[in-house]
Amino acid sequence: MVDYVSINGAQLAYRLIGPQEAPLMITLHGGRGFGDHQSDFKAYSPLSNKYRVLSFDYRGHGQSSRTEPYTFRQLVDDIEALRLFFAGDKQCIICGGSFGGYLAQQYAITYPDKVSHLILRGTAPSYHHEEMAIRTLEQRASRAPSFSINFLREKVFGRFESDIEFQLVMFAAAPLYSEKFDAEAALKNNLSTVFYAKAHNDLYSETEKYFDYREQLHLITADTLVIVGERDWICPPDQSKDIAARIPNAHLDIVPDANHSVHLEKNDEVIRLIRWYLG
């Protein structure tokens, strides 16, 4: 069962587990307009023996309120307000995947002294990953016969006309996200997910979609671990290699036989890596 906290005028749904005095880890979910905290909470809860694991839904996502605006900067400021609320003057660990990885990078650049450790999973340093994803889809199109390059370019990386269109397109794309596709599990997940086209479209607007952190990554001072699945289709491993090369002393780990959902597909391996990295 989720709890709610009032942050910057929005009601944010969250789950928190772990010892009261332990370091705070904030997990940042993927999915612009359709992600929520649930998969991250499931994936990273094993760390709660040593860390306070906080997973939440961004405004306009999941069970959180639909309080606008939906911008990268607003979501990053919400993350900082959550850190202040739950950790006070202490630093936190930031763990972000996919879209959450974009936010994690922006947070670590904007608030470098607030982050002790940064964990980035299956993400990219700029919008340029989209063209790589399109090329990867051209090679793997047979895996998702109801999906298309036009759906990816114009819808997933563009604009949806309705929530139901959003939901149907993402169900068609589902086989691309993991190496062992389970159709029944994918349908169950799709039906239980909140799809909100307005949040997606705003976060892909002309002022938001062209994010590019490459020339700022050297400003990140947190110890950084970059994890990516060897078969990640939407944020291919070259994107993680670029991130790790630009952040001082970052460690890169490419997990074999894993796709974009590496934290779920290879959960034991990812948790082992994080434990090793955090010491």
DSSP assignments along 146-176, one per residue: T--HHIIIIIITT--SSHHHHHHHHHHHGGG
Residue 67: DSSP 8-state: P
Same domain, 29 and 138: no
pLDDT one-digit tens code per residue, 95-134:
999 999 999 999 999 999 999 999 999 999 999 999 999 9
Q: Report the chain's C-alpha Rg in angstroms.
A: 17
- Categorize the per-residue pLDDT at 1 as very low, low, confident or very high, splitting at 50, 70 and 90: confident
Give me the domain span that covers residue 146. 130-203
Residue 24's pLDDT is: 98
Residue 140 has pLDDT above 90, yes or no: yes
The encoded tokens of residue 214 equal: 């490459």
Q: How many domains does the chain have?
A: 2
Same domain, 123 and 138: no
The encoded tokens of residue 236 equal: 């291919």
Residue 200's pLDDT is: 98
pTM here is: 0.97
Q: List the beta bridge partners of residue 182.
A: none
Query: Which residues are within 8 A (CB) of 245 and not within 5 positions of it... i.e. 6 or more apart?
Result: none
Instruction: Looking at the chain, list the stretches that DSSP marks H as alpha helix, in order from N- to C-terminal side.
Output: 38-44, 72-87, 99-110, 129-140, 149-150, 163-173, 183-192, 197-203, 237-246, 262-265, 267-278
Final residue of a structural domain among 185, 203, 221: 203
Residue 219 has pLDDT above 90, yes or no: yes
- Categorize the per-residue pLDDT at 29 as very low, low, confident or very high, splitting at 50, 70 and 90: very high
